[in-house]
Structure formats: structure tokens, C-alpha cells
Structure 1
Amino acid sequence: MGRPVIGIIGNSYLLNDSYPVHAGGTMNSHAIADVAGAMPLLVPSDPALVSVPELIACCDGFLLTGGRPNVHPEEYGEEATAAHGEFDRARDALALELTRACVASGQPILGICRGFQEVNVAMGGTLYPEIRDLPGRMNHRMPPDGTIEEKFELRHDVTFTPGGVFHSVMGAQVVRTNTLHGQGIKAPGPRVVIDGTAEDGTPEAIYIDGAPGFTLAVQWHPEYEAAKDPVSRPLFEAFGEAARKWAAGERQVPLVRAV
């Protein structure tokens, strides 16, 4: 059997400020190919081009990537403000429906940054438009200037629930991560389990209670140097293993809250 296929949800951009493209970061593809051991397949994030049933039929799992546009607050019952930034309604429409379908079926998904926020919104949660404006919170945004290495520098710890899902995957209860986001979870959806938090209490790792498959999501960017990073590597390896089991027709035991 060949490698499982992971659909990488792309983002819409203007190339050279004029030519519309769907694109995905190469580090996402390398993380999937080199660490998860799967075949990366870039998915145009527009339901006018692809449907959720078609995607589910041709992929064994999905990577919900980060991206500059934010989930539109109408998706969680709030009005848009300047603080909410840019939007991509086509990606909202595709990714939220896809997330709910995968949670229901057990098809593996891994959410990163915006993808982390999509998982929460898809499952009935809400978001803060700007974490750094909240009392007691640190600035989780990346430095506006500097090299790629400086932007993706490890900047804070994440502490996982003892004996929880992420503690098991990582083999450690406290890990060091990068941080490149403005928004964050305000209220988790009814089944969204916050399994890891930053030092300031910001949710950083979640999964879906009772989901019959791999439904992990993180607020940081594990795709950066995923093959070398001791936090990123086990996360993508676990995702790849879940996709291989799905492709082979094996189904996992539902994820449940640690007690």
C-alpha cells in the first residue's frame, strides 16, 4: 500500500499583488511528507471548486493550516470589527464543514493556528479578536521584522493536562513552542477539550471529546523544522500513523477527557 494522502487546506493569495492563487507553505508539505510519511495534496480552499464529500473520498486525513485571514465572527454569532482583521469566507465555508464531517466520521485532522481556531468554531466555540489586548496576556504575535528563524523562535511553554492526550503524544507535560497568532479561543465548543495552555492561560492544544478519530489541533506552528523539533516530530508522526490506519480501514478508540 502506498502512502496515505493528506489534504492540505490552502489559502487564497494575490501573487505579485495581482494574480489570484491558492497556495500552501512548503514547510507544511515537508512536515507531511518527511515526518508524517504521507503524500501532501494541496486543496484549493473554495467550495465552488471542491466539495467535502469529494475530499473525504480521495484523502485519508486533512491538515488545517495557518493563514493570515481569520475565521469570520459571523460563524460564531458575533459582528466583525477592525480588530478581527482579514477574512476568507470561501475557506470558512469549506474548512468548517470539513472539520465537522471528519469529527463525525473519525477521519484524521490536524489543526494549526487558524486551523486550531477553525476546529473550535466548527464545534460551536468562539474567538477573541486580539489576545494581546486581554488583561494578563502576553503578545502571541510573531515579530513584525526579522528572519524566518527569528519569527519562528521558541517563545513560551505549553503545559498539558497530566495523563491527557497531548501528554501521551509528546511524552512530556511541558514543551516549548513558537507563537505567531493574534486571535485565540474565547469559549471552547461544548466538546472541545483544552488540553494545553500557555503560561498566560491562553489555550494552545485541543481535541474533541468522544471523537472516533484523531482530532488534535495546536495554536502554535509545529510545521517549522518539524523533522528536527522534539515537539513537532511526535505530533506529525502520530498524525501520519492515524492516517495510515484510516487508509487501512482501521478505526481508533474515541478520544475522551482525562479524569
Structure 2
Amino acid sequence: MRSPARPIVGVLCCNEAVGRPVQAVATRFVAPLSRFSDATVVLVPAVVDAVDIAALAAMLDGLLLTGSRSNVAPQRYGGAPLPAGQDTDPERDEVALALAGRMIEAGKPVFGICRGLQEINVLFGGTLSADACRDRHHRGSWDGCFDDLFGHRHDVELNDGGLLSRATGRRRMSVNSVHTQGIDRLGAGLSIEAVAPDDGLVEAIRAHPCGADVLAVQWHPEWDVERSAESRAFFALLGGSLRASTSLAMR
């Protein structure tokens, strides 16, 4: 059985347009996986015809569903049409949900950031809503200064005894906030790891359905990972989950 020096984690790309369609993922999602998760990264295209879900799930040791400019299409969870100006990425939806579901069933860890949290909630049968954010969780523009966009912060309260609370040693911390939709109804089997105290929005979720961790946060730990011990803890948790999963598979 394969015994790699470092576990292999898949990272979901997005469909972007730079004159013509391209596959894109910000380097800031990739670099911490090498430095703080001690993992080898494989980029997964959000192109349905280019992805063999079963083969990828067998090859990968874990999966990170990244943040994105796009939102999960409301048809995926029976939601109302998105407000004007909010884009979708149907092929990203298809690949992310299918691959994450296959990985979870195989007992491999799946982690999510921002859109990734929303995808995991939908995968578990939950719903999303733009009203849940009430314009309080996004400031600035994707066409403006990213420092200003990702500099919008608020507090979250961590569940006492939860995975994130134990990993960070915190019950309350400040996080950045860059999203226009959030969890409306929590998916079945998911537990809440963190909430925003001002409006009760679910900010982190967890499950352990088939022997491996499923963990996602609504904020962006990759943005300030060099400056924040709490952000580094997220990637350390992913690394630990990858190693726990691969150790069980080798027995």
C-alpha cells in the first residue's frame, strides 16, 4: 500500500474569466497546506468532464474546499434566487459536492473555508441564505483593495470543548469576514463549532461521520496565517486529520 512521505490533499479550483475561462485558486490557500499541514497539494479542476470522482477520491488523502468569489447555486438547496451581482459556478458545485461526498464516505477528512463551509452544509442537506448575513459580513469590493476587503473583522464564540476551541485554546476570537451568504438551516449530522454573537450566524461546523474529520469555517484563516496562531491551528488540524486518516488506512 502507498506510504507517501507527506499526505496528499486536493484543493478545489474555481472557474474564473481572464479574457477566457481559466481554472484558478489563490496561492494563499495552497501555501499553508505545505507549511502548516505538511501536505502535498493537488489542484482539482472545477470541470465536470475532466474529473474522475472515484479515481480522485481513491488517490487523495484529504480535501480542502476553498473560498471563492462565487456562491453555491440556490438550485442545490431549494433556495430563492440570489441577489443581483452574486455569481454562481455550477461546475464547481458539481465537482465539490460529488468529490466531498465520496471522500467523506471513504473516511477521509474534508475541510472547508468560506464557500467550502457552505458547500459542506448543502452536502449534509442544509440550506443557505443571503438574508442570514444581512450585509454585516462583507465590506468592500472584489475589484478594490484586498487588504480592506479581508480586513473587515468581527468576533466569534467557539463552542466550549469543540475541536476549534481545544486547538486554539480560545473561547472567543476575532476573525475576518468576506461573504454574502451564510447558513440558514444547519445540515443533518453537523454540529456547530462557532457562532457570531451579534447575530447568531453559524461560523464553523464539524462532523465525524465515517471515521474522519469534516471541519469548516466561514472566515478566511489562510489570509492571516502568518500572523495568527489561531489561523495556523486550522491548518494544523487539517494536517493531523490527514495523518490520522492515512495511518488508519495503512493498518
Judge same fold: TM > 0.5, yes or no.
yes
Give the equivalent residue in structure 2 for 1:254.
none
Give the equivalent residue in structure 2 for 1:234.
233
Give the equivalent residue in structure 2 for 1:143.
140
Identity of aligned residues (%): 35
Match of 1:156 among 140, 154, 157: 154
Question: Is the aligned partner of 1:98 residue 2:99?
Answer: yes
Residue 247 and residue 205 in structure 1: after superposition, are their counterparts in 2 closer, same or farther (change >3 A)? same
Match of 1:196 among 190, 194, 199: 194
Give the equivalent residue in structure 1 for 2:21.
20
Match of 1:177 among 157, 175, 192: 175
Residue 87 and residue 147 in structure 1: after superposition, are their counterparts in 2 closer, same or farther (change >3 A)? closer
Shift of 1:190: 1.3
Contact between 1:35 and 1:227, CA under 8 Å: does it hold in 2? no
CA distance in 1, matches of 2:157, 2:210: 22
Deviates more, 1:21-30 or 1:166-175: 166-175
Contact between 1:7 and 1:61, CA under 8 Å: does it hold in 2? yes
Contact between 1:193 and 1:209, CA under 8 Å: does it hold in 2? no
Shift of 1:79: 4.2
Shift of 1:242: 1.3
Q: CA deviation digits over 1:51-80, x for unaligned, max 9?
A: 221211221111100111111111112342
Shift of 1:101: 2.1
Residue 84 and residue 166 in structure 1: after superposition, are their counterparts in 2 closer, same or farther (change >3 A)? farther
CA distance in 2, matches of 1:229, 1:81: 33
Q: CA deviation digits over 1:179-200, x for unaligned, max 9?
A: 0001000000111212200122
CA distance in 2, matches of 1:150, 1:220: 15
Query: Secondary structure in 2 aligned to 1:36?
Result: coil
Shift of 1:103: 2.5
Shift of 1:84: 8.0
Residue 5 and residue 142 in structure 1: after superposition, are their counterparts in 2 closer, same or farther (change >3 A)? farther
Q: TM-score, normalised by structure 1?
A: 0.88
RMSD value, Cα: 1.9
Deviates more, 1:5-14 or 1:69-78: 69-78
Contact between 2:132 and 2:184, CA under 8 Å: does it hold in 1? no
Residue 154 and residue 233 in structure 1: after superposition, are their counterparts in 2 closer, same or farther (change >3 A)? farther
Shift of 1:105: 2.4
Q: TM-score, normalised by structure 2?
A: 0.90
Give the equivalent residue in structure 2 for 1:118.
119
Contact between 1:34 and 1:227, CA under 8 Å: does it hold in 2? no
Give the equivalent residue in structure 2 for 1:107.
108
Q: Which amino acid aligns with 2:11?
A: I
Shift of 1:211: 4.3
User: Which consecutive residues of structure 1, in runs of 5 or more, have no partner in the other structure?
Assistant: 252-259
Q: Which amino acid aligns with 1:13?
A: E
Give the equivalent residue in structure 2 for 1:69.
70
Number of positions where the alignment pairs a residue of Structure 1 with one of Structure 2: 245
Contact between 1:83 and 1:129, CA under 8 Å: does it hold in 2? no
Query: Secondary structure in 2 aligned to 1:204?
Result: strand
Shift of 1:140: 0.3
